[in-house]
Amino acid sequence: MCHRKPGTPGVGKTTLGKELASKSGLKYINVGDLAREEQLYDGYDEEYDCPVLDEDRVVDELDNQMREGGVIVDYHGCDFFPERWFHIVFVLRTDTNVLYERLETRGYNEKKLTDNIQCEIFQVLYEEATASYKEEIVHQLPSNKPEELENNVDQILKWIEQWIKDHNS
């Protein structure tokens, strides 16, 4: 059983993923960290001031772990991951004013700030998720306040328990 959490940068994917992993015993993988550690890049984007992910190498790197299951994958995009990898996909959503403050404190340049806010406004990542996976496995969760984080963790843990029951009987 694997699940995936796409969403605009700054919506709380990493906080949620780590919290879920510690409470569920599932393995947590942050694709950005993995790419940094293994140097899974294909050049550098000057405009956004960041390295370009080599998506094929990321998929190769993760494939064995994903086959074993029990993995939480954290990344802001999802269209290049094989559909067979995931049983459920959670897209985190944040109000743009909250998101702007979070990204500003990360020191994003103006272009990166504007593009990520627009990405959230136009639900780009939710649409990418529904285009990449069966619509019934894609769920949106609000991620503005600490109590929403706790709520999301509880909701996903309940889903995990139910999935395990349904598949181990």
Q: Crossing angle, helix 110-121 and helix 124-132, to 10 degrees?
A: 60
| b/e sequence 40-73, b meaning 16+ C-beta within 10 Å | beeeeeeeeeebebbbeebeebbeeebeeeebbb
CATH annotation of 13-156: 3.40.50.300
One-letter-per-residue 3-state SS of the chain: CEEEECCCCCCCHHHHHHHHHHHHCCEEEEHHHHHHHHCCEEEEECCCCEEEECHHHHHHHHHHHHHHCCEEEECCCCCCCCHHHCCEEEEEECCHHHHHHHHHHCCCCHHHHHHHHHHHHCCHHHHHHHHHCCHHHEEEEECCCHHHHHHHHHHHHHHHHHHHHHHCC
pLDDT by residue (tens digit) across 74-117? 998 899 999 999 999 999 999 999 999 999 999 998 888 999 99
Residues annotated within a binding site for ATP = 10, 12-15, 106, 145
| Parallel, antiparallel or unpaired: strands 88-93 and 138-142 | parallel
**Which residues have a Cβ under 8 Å from the Cβ of 50 and sit 6 or more positions away?**
44, 112
Q: Is the pTM of this model over 0.85?
A: yes
At which residue do the structure tokens 């139910």 appear?
Answer: 162
Main-chain dihedrals φ then ψ at residue 27, nearest 5 degrees:
-85, 135
Share of the chain above pLDDT 70, in %: 96
Lowest-pLDDT range, 43-47, 134-138, 156-160?
Answer: 43-47
Residues annotated within a binding site = 10, 12-15, 106, 145
pLDDT by residue (tens digit) across 17-49? 999 999 999 999 999 999 999 999 999 998 888
Domain residue ranges of the chain, discontinuous segments joined by +: 13-156
**Is 90 exceeded by the pLDDT of residue 11?**
no
The pLDDT confidence band at residue 137, using thresholds 50, 70 and 90, is very high
